[in-house]
Amino acid sequence: MGGRKGYSLRTVVGPLSPIEKPEKELLRAIENEDPKKVVASSAKIIARSDLALDSIGYGYLFMDSISDDYKRLRAQSTKERRKELAKKWALFRKERGKTFDVRINRDVVDSATRILGGEENE
């Protein structure tokens, strides 16, 4: 059985100095099993991270850019959909002169694949 990959906080958000306080809040919230504070402190971390905001923002723009293809992509198998979305994501990034690391590229494509149809078409 596979699981989700885990990444260090630095890999996800970039430099840690701007997020020291919210990171401590997040760890306390997790320790105290307080979901509201986990969400609030996570949002603060994302808001202070250019890397995280950039990848989230471009992910949303990418989904908007393929909106005309939703119906067709949903009809494809998961494997076909993932392959086509990977190509579209690469073209999207190239057109905008934007680069992301392999982790972000994979996460955007995997998320788009799930959003457009889940695993029911395999």
Give which of 93, 114, 94 is closest to 104, Cα–Cα: 93
Per cent of the chain over pLDDT 90 is 61
* Cα torsion 69, 95, 55, 9: sign: positive
Answer with the residue of higher pLDDT: 4 or 84.
84
Q: Are 36 and 60 in a shared domain?
A: no
What does pLDDT average to over the chain?
Answer: 88
What is the DSSP secondary-structure string of 54-75? Answer: HHHHHHHHHHHHTGGGHHHHHH
Q: Are 61 and 100 in a shared domain?
A: yes
Confidence at residue 1, expressed as pLDDT on a 0 to 100 scale: 43
Q: Is residue 85 in a domain?
A: yes
Give which of 107, 102, 109 is closest to 84, Cα–Cα: 109
- Residue 113 pLDDT > 70: yes
Confidence at residue 18, expressed as pLDDT on a 0 to 100 scale: 87
Burial 46-66 (b: 16+ CB within 10 A, else e): bebbebbeebeebbeebbebb
Q: Are 25 and 76 in a shared domain?
A: no
For 21-33, the pLDDT digits (tens) are: 999 999 999 999 9
Structural domains counted in the chain: 2
Q: Is residue 122 in a domain?
A: no
For 34-80, the pLDDT digits (tens) are: 999 999 999 999 999 988 899 899 999 999 999 999 889 999 999 99
Q: Are 31 and 74 in a shared domain?
A: no
Q: Are 108 and 74 in a shared domain?
A: yes
Q: Are 68 and 92 in a shared domain?
A: yes
Which domain, by its residues, includes 20? Answer: 10-47
In this prediction, residue 91 has a pLDDT band, given cuts at 50, 70 and 90, of very high
Give which of 95, 122, 92 is closest to 109, Cα–Cα: 92
Q: Are 65 and 28 in a shared domain?
A: no
Q: Are 39 and 83 in a shared domain?
A: no
Q: Is residue 3 in a domain?
A: no
